[in-house]
Structure 1
Amino acid sequence: MTQPIYAIGDIHGFSEQLDRALALIEDDGGPEAEVVFLGDYTDRGPDSKGVLERLIAGQTEGRNWRFVMGNHDRMFLRFVTQGIQHDDRIKSGLSWMNPRLGGTTTLRSYGVGGPDFPTFRSPQGKDVETFMSWWTDRGQLSDQEVILAAREAVPEAHLNFLSTLPLWHEAGDLLFVHAGLRPGVPLDEQEEDDLLWIRDGWLEDDRDHGRLVVHGHTALDAPEHYGNRVNLDAGAGYGNRLVPAVFEDGSVFTLWPDGRRSLGPA
């Protein structure tokens, strides 16, 4: 019998949901349980700072935790360290600071910003939406002033954690990645953007990938098992419950207050 491996999908700044999921895992597997976190720790929810603090604390304590990067984690990191507010994979051209993407709630968790929405220059034609300014308790700050305020507010430990996140984690016949894979491409030749963003060409592909791929990124109402992959993004970023899962001896279970529930291929 192999040791179980637990996994948690997209957290999106909901620290209370994270605490609840970790408690369910500890009840099932004890404090030494191996846990893989599938990325998107930040954005949308009210406490991205608190989520990162919990994850970093567990890592520092030497817990048996593994992490991969999500697309929202990269957007947050790029905004603070490089002032980049767009990602080429966002077809709508929205800025990371748009409330739909959640950058504003992330910055608020660090004490940057205000209750109102920022101002933007709307996209025209092929242009992208551009964040212009934000009314805060310091007055109206320009985009560059917000970036500088974020650099002052976000601890270096948080940026170091995000910048060193791997893109995947392998464990036996399981592969953990944030968004998925480009089918038919060897793992070491996968593009970072696909590992963080892919949907088209991945979600509809039913081929055997050589191992069970465990991912998040595409929000559902509940985890789903598709035979060749398991999607654990149960929509916590949109107010749903964060549902952890356990993988043991070829079987998959979700964890609930009343215990394990089998999750088989649909």
Structure 2
Amino acid sequence: MASSAASPRSEVRTPAARGVTLIDIASEEILTGEAVALDVQPLGFFLRALGCLIDMVVGVVLLIGGGLLLVTMAASGALPDSALRIGIITLIVLVMVVLPTTVETLSRGRSLGRLAVGGRIVRVDGGAAGFRAALIRALVGVLELWLTLGGIAAVVGMFTPRAQRLGDLVAGTASERTRTRPLPPPAPGLPPGWESWAQVADVSRLPDRLAARVSQFVRGAELLDPAARVRIAGSLADAVAPFVSPRPPADPEAFVRAVASVRRDREYRALVIERERAASLTGR
């Protein structure tokens, strides 16, 4: 699946004698066990930090509320003094470990904070994270989140490609975006005779701003003055050519229309697959 966002890529080529096979995988893409690259957007560092802060604030409120309740019960004699310490320890374990593990497991990687920022915890191969991963993340979180006020998580997250914290590295998880991009606007169909080229064309390196200009042109070309239409088509074809491979010798406008159609179709398929995958993770 091609990604429209520019990102560092690694290429693997077979010897020329056997033909060239190009595997183009973005550094932020998720590679499944079947070597299928999923075009999934990881949740950024600041959004992850904000979601974590929301979850910790909720935890602090629960700790304070539960602690006041236990102290009140002990002061009124409803709770023996010997049980107060046990109650406080139990409350800490419930809020820091049991509650986040349960919520993350039942909600398939979500929490209140991640719902607010549009994120979900998944395995590094893109699959749904289960109870084991949630428990490991919660246990490690006691150290990196609660005991250090998020200091360890922040330092580790700044130096990992997907803003993974220490618990993610241990559990083999990462955070992905759940708010998918809107479907691209419709574009005119592929010009006749370009079907074979469309099957092998690489348009993934086309910058988003340039792609938007191309899409805008092909949707309104019929309304332009003929001379201006030819001039703009030639200018766009020259700008697009360095980012498209292979470029067949053809009329500039036909070339631009073909690029717009291929890119739009691939973006549409990628977004449909992403939405279907998100729906399968949430069980809807």
Going by fraction, where is strand more abundant, 1 or 2? Answer: 1
Give the TM interval when normalised to the shorter protein. Answer: under 0.3
Going by fraction, where is helix more abundant, 1 or 2? Answer: 2
What is the TM-score when the length of structure 2 is the normalising length?
A: 0.22
**Larger Rg over CA atoms:** 2
